[in-house]
Chain A
Amino acid sequence: MRWPLLLLALLVLGILPLFLPWLGFVFTLALAKGLAALGIALLLRAGLVSFGHGLFFGAGAYAVAFALREPGRGSQEATLLLLLALVVGLVLGFLVGLFVSRYRGIFFAMLNLAFSMVFFALLAKFYHWTGGTDGLRVPTPTVMGLVLERNVFGEVLFYASLALVIGLSLLLHTFLETPVGKALGAIQTNEVRLEYLGIPVQRVILLTYLLSAGLAGLGGGLTALAVGHVVPELAYWVASGEFVYIAILGGIGAVPGPLLGALVYELIRTFAFKYLAYSWQLLLGTTMLLVIFFAPGGIWMLLGERRQRVASK
């Protein structure tokens, strides 16, 4: 029941923007945030929560902006730019991961926060390179060598990211079935026992951290291309909190959860922002409290529970 529903959702997702182009933009942003939230969900499986993935999200976005800034030197090709964002996320994730993978619980969360705030402060401070708090403009890149108009590029980007997200979801789903993926859940229950069994916990966490950072970097790159502008707020801790929010809202039990969460989040945000300028966070906060207290498995579990209830009738 859950999977056919998902297929239906994918179809709607793919077709609706053909009729409502602005929805394609909202969906692209949702997919980008969904990627970052997927990364967070990986870590959450191991019981680790990062309030600092804005660092990788922002780094991916700024990498794209920097590459596009100088027409002569940097690459103009969208696919290469996204690859760059991914690599920047992976490399940064490896470096930061070497340090934070030694910590657990609150300290893990706070160290991540500290690193992202350092990055945020650097972005805001070094005006000559980063444009300070005004950020940088991201010109429209070429796609497979073709120069596209802005609105056409937006549509192409949406379908490309949809395909990308589907592909990555399948890969991640496979990853979670491997011994390393299975070890993540075990780390949360009891880490010491895992060490006794000979599983290198630190390395598993480092690998997962790296993957999650890569996903966030890619999401940041997508956001930069979709919005056409990057600002330091992409790396602010509130943005990092959003990713955790999305992961829990959707549910971390399966790969589609965080993506679903991102769609719901982005839709609530768009409409609430339009009609209730000063209370969209109020709405989001209240929604989250209700989800945590009444549906702790997130939307994904909610869909599954309904199936069970129907079956037992």
Chain B
Amino acid sequence: MNPLLALFDGLVYGSLLFLVAVGLTLVFGVLRILNVAHGSFYALGAYTAVILGLWAERALGSGWLSFPALLLAPVLVGGILGPLIERLVLRWAYVRPEVLQLLITFSLFLVLEDLQKLVFGVQPYFLDRPLQLLGAVEIGGVPYTRYQFLLVLVALLVLFGLRFLLRATPMGKILVAVVADREMAQALGVNVGRVYAVAFSLGVGLAALGGALASPTVTIAPGLGAEVIVLSFAVVAVGGLGQVEGAALGALLIGLGRSLAVYWLPELDVLVPYLVMVLVLLFRPVGLFGTVEVRRL
């Protein structure tokens, strides 16, 4: 087995995981809520992208139009569902204990799971035009689809884009201020409610982007979101809750770990993400980039 292929697979898989997990970690960093329903936005992004892509191909007659569809889907999901759910449900969850917040987002997961079935049905969808159109390229004797390399590029863009957003723009500085000290930020005139809504919508959009970009490479069927969310949990726990760079490292570790396992220990491939997580937490209980919270008397 060619190790280069394992490396490529790991990079691509890690990139997709990163896109979803970074949204989860961003939402946790700002809102302090671990969103169990995050995977559902991934699934909704995938469904929306496939429907839009197939429609663009059929109605407008060009397969190339499925590319803008892949990018339009997360904007739609993040822009519409994000603010809506933040305003209708999460806004009432901020003051509640952690346990209830988890259960609130779990209930949201149940609701979204069924809404998805009601809207899109239970039959599987496929959209492989983007994959075919870009064709394959041979590197080091390994043929590999160009589309999947594009995914790695997008993940890198998102990583550096987020870093830029958080460090160099006024919006990002306000976000960081709210994360550091919510009350002080509020006292200085920051509209914290709006910051929460923006951060949540951005997180939802990122999950949907992950789903949309993954849609040409996977079968879209019910259960997609439930599977992705536990993997994102593992990534986020490995990297440290609320850490953007941590999510990148966690996704890379888990992505590579899993693809290597596929080639050398195929029985264990599904276990690798959780084993990595348990190992990391055993030695660093707050994750690789996490910060230790001070215990108060």
Contacts and interface: CB of A to CB of B under 8 A. Distances in A.
Interface of A: 44, 47, 49, 51, 99, 102-103, 105-107, 109-111, 113-115, 117-118, 121-122, 124-126, 190-193, 196, 236-238, 241, 244-245, 248, 278-282, 284-286, 288-289, 292-293, 296
A241 B96 contact: no
Interface in B103-131: 103-104, 106-111, 113-115, 117-118, 122
User: B interface, how many residues as a size bin?
Assistant: 35 or more
A241 B106 contact: yes
Nearest to B34: A106
A284 B96 CA distance: 20
Contacts of B185: none
A293 B118 CA distance: 26
B107 A122 contact: no
B99 A44 contact: yes
Nearest to B290: A107
Given A109-B102, A292-B104, A122 B111 contact: no
Contacts of A113: 230, 233
Contacts of B286: 107
Interface of chain A: mostly helix, strand, loop or mixed? helix
B149 interface: no
Question: Which of B103, B118, B278 has most A Cβ within 10 Å?
Answer: B103
Given A47-B97, A278-B117, 16 more contacts: A106-B98, A110-B234, A110-B277, A114-B230, A118-B271, A118-B275, A125-B270, A190-B297, A192-B297, A244-B106, A248-B103, A278-B118, A280-B114, A281-B113, A282-B110, A285-B114
B268 to A, nearest CB: 8
A292 B237 contact: no
15 contacts: A106-B34, A110-B237, A111-B281, A113-B230, A118-B271, A121-B270, A244-B103, A278-B118, A282-B115, A285-B110, A286-B111, A288-B104, A288-B106, A288-B107, A292-B100
A193 B237 CA distance: 28
Interface of chain B: mostly helix, strand, loop or mixed? helix
Contacts of A248: 99-100, 103
B30 to A, nearest CB: 15
B275 A285 contact: no
Shortest beta-carbon contacts, A-B, top 9: A285-B110, A285-B111, A282-B114, A288-B107, A121-B270, A281-B110, A285-B107, A114-B274, A281-B114
B184 interface: no
